[in-house]
Amino acid sequence: MGHNSGRLAAGAIMVPDLNVISGAPSPGSAMRAERGRPLIISLGKHFRGLFDRLIATSSLVSNAPVLDVRDFAWTQMLRENWQAIRDEAMTVALRGNAAPSLSTISPDHRAIAEVDKWRSFFIWGYGYRIDENADRCPRTAALVEQIPGLNSAFFSILAPGTHIPDHRGVTKGLITCHLGLVVPRDGDVRMRVHDRIVRWSEGQTLVFDDTYQHEVWNDTEGTRVVLLIQFERPLRNPGKWIADTFLRIVRRSPFVQEARDNIQTWNAAVKQLDV
């Protein structure tokens, strides 16, 4: 994405630089974010291991790094409709500046997300429907809204030559599913989940536990696109109570609310550019 700041013409409105839309948050938003993050960080550092162990013992599905898609019947629905989903991604999310970098939406991802190289077009985010984006992808939105325990759904767009360093997810209470939409074939595009190397195929689903350390490489000259789904792990108590409580805290936190605000700001900026 190029820089788009500056005046279009004499007397015209200022067009914000889309690359730094969240780089200099207002004092109010920055203070709200800082008030919310200590709790999340504290929970993550001091209790995440305990929480994850309790959730694992309550899991109704495997705790392996990579799970069997047959344990999640709804993934068949995604595979059967993958071309329609891909068409919406190509028409909407890959058009112009429609999809911001993940680090723009969530500044906490800046440590792992290269600016402009890992972009995202959110349809759902941490239990919140992003109405404007969902309405532009009606078929995809209708499909993902049938997924039990849907937490997030977005088009994940990885530029050529990108490496996402080793990292892990927030809670074992969530599981991740990728639906391959555009997978370059002129090199190697892959992900390591714990000690497993996996690769995407167009029209196929991959389900994994992102609390295992994982990293991604796009060693091709093409762009990789997947529909990324996060959904609640099927659980019995006490793990279900722990996971539900933690997710309620995260969803209400400034950490998530700031990301929602950034998506709205980005969409408003894109409208000004008539993209």
How far apart are alpha carbons 136 and 86 in whole angstroms? 13
Which pLDDT tens digit goes with each residue over 200-244? 999 999 999 999 999 999 999 999 999 999 999 999 999 999 999
Give the pLDDT mean for 133-151.
Answer: 96
Residue 54 has pLDDT above 90, yes or no: yes
- Quote the radius of gyration of the chain (alpha carbons, Å): 19
Q: Using DSSP, how many helices (H) and how many strands (E) does the chain show?
A: 9, 13
Q: What are the residue boundaries of the structural domains of the chain, listed by start? A: 28-272
CA 112 centroid distance within chain: 13
How far apart are alpha carbons 225 and 183 in whole angstroms? 7
Which pLDDT tens digit goes with each residue over 107-133? 454 444 454 677 888 899 888 898 989
Least confident of 47-51, 80-84, 107-111: 107-111
Distances (CA, A) of 51 to 57, 62, 245, 246: 10, 17, 11, 9
Q: Which CATH number fits domain 28-272: 2.60.120.330, 3.50.50.60, 3.40.720.10, 3.20.20.210?
A: 2.60.120.330
What integer pLDDT is reported at residue 119 of this predicted model?
A: 84
What type of residue is 72?
Answer: F
